[in-house]
Amino acid sequence: DAGVIQSPRHEVTEMGQEVTLRCKPISGHNSLFWYRQTMMRGLELLIYFNNNVPIDDSGMPEDRFSAKMPNASFSTLKIQPSEPRDSAVYFCASSLGSWRGAGELFFGEGSRLTVL
């Protein structure tokens, strides 16, 4: 059974460029989460969706960040323009059941972003 699939696994870009990270959740999971991991700040929840609808984006750092979920099997996290402080590992996770439930998170392998 395929897990959460993220692409690209590694991205190196220059400051000011647009970055798009992609995620395919586990089939049948109806909650999707984007996290960012850094040494300084640990794991931060950026945004989460339930049934393709954004529920809470209060963790998105600023307007340069945007996320979409056009259908149940695909989500994107976009950074435009990118800055060096955006360098981090970005994780997508999905969960079965209601976002109000106690379902555990299934994480992808992450996308390591380096902004020069």
Partner 1 sequence: AQSVAQPEDQVKVAEGNPLTVKCTYSVSGNPYLFWYVQYPNRGLQFLLKYITGDNLVKGSYGFEAEFNKSQTSFHLKKPSALVSDSALYFCAVRAVTQAGKSTFGDGTTLTVKP
Task: State the nearest-atom distance from the C-beta of 13 to partner 1, in Å.
Answer: 20
Paired residues of 35 in beta bridges: 45, 91
The DSSP line for 75-105 is EEEEESS--GGG-EEEEEEEESS-TTS-PPP
Stretch that binds partner 1, among 13-21, 22-30, 80-88, 94-102 (CB under 8 A): 94-102
Q: Total residues contacting partner 1 (rule CB under 8 A)?
A: 24
d(CA 57, CA 22): 17
In the list 19, 48, 75, 86, the residue contacting partner 1 (rule: CB under 8 A) is 48
d(CA 29, CA 27): 6
Task: State the nearest-atom distance from the C-beta of 37 to partner 1, in Å.
Answer: 9
- Residues within the interface to partner 1 (CB under 8 A): 4, 31, 33, 42-43, 45, 48, 50, 55-56, 91, 93, 98-102, 104-110
